[in-house]
Structure 1
Amino acid sequence: MKNAREIIEIRTSQRVEILDITREVEGILSQFGVKEGLLNVYSRHSTSGVVINENESGLISDFQMALEKIIPQGAGYHHDRIDNNADSHIRGFLIGGSQTVPVENGTIMLGTWQSIFFVELDGPRQRKLTVTVMGE
């Protein structure tokens, strides 16, 4: 069994930003040569997330708008007394910081319209994602 790990560095330019990282993740998978197994993308930042969904610009905009509507910035959160970013933490808590995808025949088993996204919730920042590949 092979185990391999790589870091993706991302620089964001907006407070809330959704970036398709599928190509970078596929490149890491091909570099390691794993044909069957699992691939995990993990963000070590509590004000970010990793999601899988369709890469359609209207949907991306809708997702961002829904986050802002459901969990608005400056809504009187207790944590805002410290960092003024409680909304970012709550959004990250609900989104989740990692995704695991099966690998089959050297390919990430995403659905036809699916992509892997990094979701910045407290930018702009420099971020690091860990991609771990396990398999044969």
Structure 2
Amino acid sequence: MAKDLFVTLTDQPGEGARLGEALGNAGVNIEGLCALMEGGTANVHVLVDDVATARAALEGAGIVVQAETDVIVSPALPEPDVDTPGRFGQMARALSDAGINITLVYVASRNRVVLATSDNERATQLLKSMM
């Protein structure tokens, strides 16, 4: 199962390289990535399949994994393509109407949506039923 790892880096040249090289040298593919810079800090979410190897590689490079989150990745959801106008709105509305909160969302490689919610199991069932 894919996991989202959350790390904080310094907002300066080379930090992305340090993260990418640590994972690449360990043979871990970055399936998705989201980074937001604010006040000299980079808050980074990295989607990986091999969590143990990724965590060891990052920590070996001096990058502390602050959180590990179970996520729903859109191939677990039926098509249609998520790259359709209004698709995210439909997904978000269905979750909202069911009282499920989205806690994390970003787009990953191969046009996949990565979601963490207040109830991933119910969210997955609901999203599958609407597709």
TM tier, smaller: under 0.3
From the two aligned structures, give the one with the greater helix fraction.
Answer: 2
From the two aligned structures, give the one with the greater strand fraction.
Answer: 1
Q: Which has the higher contact order (CA 8 A, sep 6+)?
A: 1
- TM norm structure 1: 0.25
